[in-house]
Amino acid sequence: MQKLNLTGSAKHQTDDQMKGLSAVFVDGDEVFVDNGAIHAKSRLEVGIKFVSSLEEVPNPRHIEGIWITLKRQANGLGYTGAMPFELWIDSDSKLGYKKLSDHVNQMDKAVRGNVDLSRLSKEAVVKAGQFLQTVRADLWENATDAFRAAFSQAED
C-alpha cells in the first residue's frame, strides 16, 4: 500500500503552514502522492525542461493535480484544503509546461483551507476522492464537510 505522507510534520525546516501540505496526482489511471511537488521536484517533473508555452511541448500528456492540506480538527487530524493544478509533460522529449504562478497561488489557497475542484475533470475528482478515502481513512473521517462535499459531488 502506498504511504500517504500527510502527517502534519515535515522532516526539514519549513514554514509551519507548509507542514500539512502534499500533492495528489491523477495521471491517467494512476493516482499517487508526491510531496516533491511542493518544491517542483515530483517524479513527473524531475528531468523535465519546462518551457514557456504549451505549443512548445510536442506530445503533451495532461496531468491533473490537487494540493491537499491537513489540519487538526475536533476529532483529530483531517483533510481541509484542496485546490487543483495542472501539468503537461512529454516524457519522450523531456519537455513540459506548467503555469508556475498558478501552482503557487493554488498551493496558497489550499494551505488557507480553500476547497475548489471545479477546474478538474469529473473523472480526476472521483479517482482522487476514492484514493483519499482509502489510503488514510482516518484523515477522510476527520476531513471538513466542505472537503468531503467537493469530492462527493463528482460521484453524483
For 137-155, the pLDDT digits (tens) are 999 999 999 999 999 876 6
pTM for the model stands at 0.86
For 27-79, the pLDDT digits (tens) are 999 999 999 999 999 999 999 999 999 999 999 999 999 999 999 988 899 99
What pLDDT, on the 0 to 100 scale, is given for residue 9? 47
Separation in Å, CA 142 to CA 13, 63, 151, 153 = 26, 28, 14, 18
What confidence category does residue 13 fall into, taking pLDDT thresholds of 50, 70 and 90? very low
What pLDDT, on the 0 to 100 scale, is given for residue 11? 46
Strand-pair category, 49-50 with 30-33:
unpaired
> Taking a C-beta distance cutoff of 8 angstroms, is the pair 151, 117 a contact?
yes
Q: Is residue 65 part of a domain?
A: yes
What pLDDT, on the 0 to 100 scale, is given for residue 77? 93
Question: Which amino acid type is present at position 76?
Answer: G
* Domain span including residue 40: 16-155
Question: Which amino acid type is present at position 3?
Answer: K
Domains contained in the chain, number: 1
Quote the CA–CA distance of 118 and 100 in Å, as a whole number. 19
For 93-136, the pLDDT digits (tens) are 999 999 999 999 999 999 999 999 999 999 999 999 999 999 99
For residue 50, count other CB atoms closer than 10 A to its CB: 16
Q: Is residue 8 part of a domain?
A: no
Q: Is residue 122 part of a domain?
A: yes
What pLDDT, on the 0 to 100 scale, is given for residue 124? 97
Q: Is residue 135 part of a domain?
A: yes
What pLDDT, on the 0 to 100 scale, is given for residue 115? 97
